[in-house]
Amino acid sequence: MSRNQTLFERAQRVIPGGVNSPVRAFRAVGGTPRFIQRGQGAYIYDADAKRYIDYIGSWGPMILGHGHPAVLEAVTKAAQEGFSFGAPTEREIELAEEILKLVPSMEQVRLVSSGTEATMSALRLARGATGRSKFIKYEGCYHGHTDSLLVKAGSGLATFGHPTSSGVTPGAAQDTLVLEYNNLAQLEEAFQRHGKELAAVIIEPIAGNMNFVRTQLAYMKRLRELCTQHGALLILDEVMTGFRVGLHSAQGHYAQLIPGFKPDISTFGKVIGGGMPLAAFGASRDIMKHLAPLGGVYQAGTLSGNPVATACGLATLREIQKPGFFETLSARTRRLVDGLAAVAADNGVPFSVDAQGGMFGFFLFPQLPQNYATVMSTDKERFNRFFHAMLDAGVYLAPALYEAGFVSAAHTDADIDATLEAARSALR
């Protein structure tokens, strides 16, 4: 028996399902989860000392790869100074300033510890600022495990086929309106019926928990117009896309294509913590004034702005601003997805791909899906066979059909070549 199997059996005795986040359990693909011992650069090593080319990157944060020297130096120095104080530090200001410099839609930002905390707080802020209760979310978009947002969500919920979560009461979900992603007619109807009651619309600009699905340009443009027209706040959930798809995040990409575009509230996570538990939400000064201690919208956290986490995030953000960083990362990601598409075509396998910055997705489907229902119709069993063939060959992809993938600055052309060779064998 492998050490991974031994650890999994041991874990299941003391942890529900043997994991602390559901998708890690490999239930969607079958088999034994890999228990990771260490990471270095573009690689992770499991309990059996097997090396994998890592395309999960802790689900997005490891944009520099594992163990980047500048990040290790910053974290080591911060840890020596103290793990946590429960009091303000100068580094919190520095990280906030760095984030705001790169995201012009925000004037102020509040640091928190997780993406779930960021989206939960952003939604509460929107309700407090508007005095309204209802909001719109999208089928297949995952915004963390807050009760009112666990309604037809994606990610692990899509994996297990649950439309919502047990334990979420009808009362908690009664103000949540769920629309189909990229369905313009539905959007128009929702605002026509509920526009005066809507506090906000929350959306992933590029959904990463039903694999990789973009908000269509016309849809995003009209969504911004309708929110402005009806006084609803547009919340962009960039926990996954923030500083991952570009230096100015997904909203920077849409701002280039839609003159004057910006969200009202934004949430961030993953990359801004560099692998540490850190996230943020932010908006204009006028909206953020509603937040305690200035206003009546309460939010707090013992570890918010943790000094070690902020050191890790600050070092990461400074590295990704170096000249040519995103051009190189984007080119490498594009080389990977174009190569996968070519290998699939050579083997007569239906395949479609998309990528932005260091984030990518592929579907065993002839065209790119535009919504959750289409994603759910793709060939799950064929994906599972592909996943295990790649895993056996030392390539670690997300253990579920419904998850985006991530390339880091540590991935080399040789890593991409090895991945494509593994895919060629797997698809054959």
Task: Please choose, from the candidates 324, 357, 325, 355, the residue with its C-alpha nearest in 3D space to the C-alpha of residue 339.
Answer: 355
Beta-bridge partner residues of 352? 363
Catalytic residue among 55, 262, 270, 372: 270
Beta-bridge partner residues of 283? 108, 265
Task: Please choose, from the candidates 270, 230, 233, 237, the residue with its C-alpha nearest in 3D space to the C-alpha of residue 251.
Answer: 237
Specify the amino acid at residue 295: G
Is 142 in the active site?
A: yes
Catalytic residue among 43, 52, 55, 142: 142
CA distance 241 to 355: 11
Catalytic residue among 54, 134, 138, 237: 237
CA distance 141 to 371: 10
Is 237 in the active site?
A: yes
Catalytic residue set: 142, 237, 270
